[in-house]
Amino acid sequence: RKEVEQDPGPFNVPEGATVAFNCTYSNSASQSFFWYRQDCRKEPKLLMSVYSSGNEDGRFTAQLNRASQYISLLIRDSKLSDSATYLCVVRDNTGKLIFGQGTTLQVKP
């Protein structure tokens, strides 16, 4: 079983749609959680951290459920520029970041 699992997609949605990605992790000792964004043929960049109480950054909302070992990312009012691969990332108890395979989002006009 992979340490961090994501549905690879692709998710094809129209502009303005709301889309949600989910992620599960296997190590219950994981310390911190993040979503990174990676554009085609580019490097990953931090999108947002994920806090236990849930957090929001503009159109993006992240949630964490430690009991179920589940992380989610919600994108509201999606834009063409949101098209990318979204990587679920977990920091384990040794300090290393473990990346999921990524979920690809394609927003259509």
Partner 1 sequence: DAGVIQSPRHEVTEMGQEVTLRCKPISGHNSLFWYRQTMMRGLELLIYFNNNVPIDDSGMPEDRFSAKMPNASFSTLKIQPSEPRDSAVYFCASSLVRQVASYEQYFGPGTRLTVT
| Contact window for partner 1 (CB under 8 A) among 12-20, 22-30, 71-79, 97-105 | 97-105
Q: Segment near partner 1 (CB under 8 A), from 14-22, 53-61, 62-70, 88-96?
A: 88-96
Q: Which residues are within 8 A (CB) of 71 and not within 5 positions of it... i.e. 6 or more apart?
A: 22, 23, 24, 25, 33, 35, 50, 62, 63, 64, 65, 88, 90
Cα 34 to Cα 6, 25, 88, 99, distances in angstroms: 13, 12, 6, 9
Residue numbers 57-86 binding partner 1 by CB under 8 A? none
Say how many residues touch partner 1, by CB under 8 A.
Answer: 20
Between 58 and 96, name the residue whose CB sits nearer to partner 1.
96
Interacting span for partner 1 (CB under 8 A) from 10-18, 53-61, 72-80, 99-107: 99-107
Given a contact cutoff of 8 angstroms between Cβ atoms, the answer to whether 105 and 10 are in contact is yes
Tell me the C-alpha distance between 73 and 60, whole Å: 7
> Which of 30, 100, 103, 107 is in the footprint of partner 1 by CB under 8 A?
100
25 is an interface residue for partner 1 by CB under 8 A = no
